[in-house]
Amino acid sequence: MSSPKLWRGQTLKDRSLDRREQLLDVGEELLGVGGAAGLTTRAVIRQSGLSPRYFYETFGSREDLVIAVYDRVETRLFERMSGVRVEDGLRAAIREIFEICAQYFEEDPARARILLREPLGDETLRRHSADRAPAFLRMLIPILGAEAGAIMPTEDEDLAMAAAALSGSLISLYLEWVDGRLGVGRDRLAEVAVASVFALLEAVRHRE
């Protein structure tokens, strides 16, 4: 079996992966600074220095790149959440998750723009983030343990309503905080976020 052909020490697969990361880096910068309107195919090609051919070999459309950027920023946030401690109870664990979110956005406000602000105005991201919200709640259950499973809605319809209600309230809360209009620290922000989660989940489960 012959070895893969190399070009400047890289295989074709390696070069393709490198181009993908390069396009994602540029896409994240454009989306985080100028929003969805600033992330155009032409802008990405110009800023990356790659040809249109390489762009369309990697992403079928500008919308595919927008979604891939969103998913990468979201995945990096999820990776931080995977280390949440559950020994101190569910409420403390959820609070830690919200503190992680606050720190993630505080480190780079562009992340909040990508995950929170742009889905409010861009139809591609709005649909994608709405589809992701119930999956996000389900993802938290194995992280937070059996106690979390006990408070989560069991029916898909109720889970969707809980996700929509939580998304709306928490996105508004974090955007106001990131924009500096609340004037509170991460601890107080997390405290209010936790209270919102339990109140909304209780309201949905009460219906069950």
From its phi and psi, is residue 9 left (phi > 0), alpha (psi between -120 and 50) or beta? Answer: left
Burial (0-12, 13-18, 19+ Cβ within 10 Å), 4: exposed
Question: Where in the chain are all domains bearing CATH 1.10.10?
Answer: 6-64
CA distance linking residue 76 with residue 202, whole number of Å: 29
Residue 136: CB atoms within 10 Å: 15
Identify the helix (H) or strand (E) that includes residue 151: helix 146-151
CA distance linking residue 54 with residue 66, whole number of Å: 16
- Residue with the two structure tokens 């181009």: 19
CA distance linking residue 95 with residue 91, whole number of Å: 6
pLDDT at 144: 64
Whether the CA torsion 165, 74, 35, 95 is positive or negative: it is positive
DSSP-based three-state secondary structure for 88:
coil
**Sorting pLDDT into bands at 50, 70 and 90, what band is 143?**
low
Q: Give the CA distances from residue 80 to residues 83, 112, 123, 168, 194, in Å, rounded to whole numbers and listed in that order.
A: 6, 15, 28, 23, 18
Q: Is the pLDDT of residue 138 over 70?
A: no
Mean model confidence pLDDT for the chain: 86
Tokens of residue 63, six digits:
């919308």
Question: Where in the chain are all domains bearing CATH 1.10.357?
Answer: 69-207
**Sorting pLDDT into bands at 50, 70 and 90, what band is 13?**
confident
Q: Which residue has the higher pLDDT, 26 or 194?
A: 26
pLDDT at 1: 46
pLDDT digits (tens, 9 = 90+) for 165-185: 888 899 999 999 999 999 999
27 half-sphere exposure, CB direction, 13 A CA radius:
25
pTM over cut 0.75: yes
Q: Which residue has the higher pLDDT, 60 or 6?
A: 60
What percent of the chain has pLDDT above 90?
A: 58
pLDDT digits (tens, 9 = 90+) for 145-168: 666 666 776 777 877 888 888 888
Whether domain 69-207 has CATH 3.40.50: no
Whether domain 6-64 has CATH 2.60.40: no
Q: Is the pLDDT of residue 142 over 80?
A: no
What percent of the chain has pLDDT above 70?
A: 84
| Alpha helix stretches (DSSP H) within 7-145 | 12-34, 41-48, 52-58, 62-81, 90-107, 109-112, 123-144
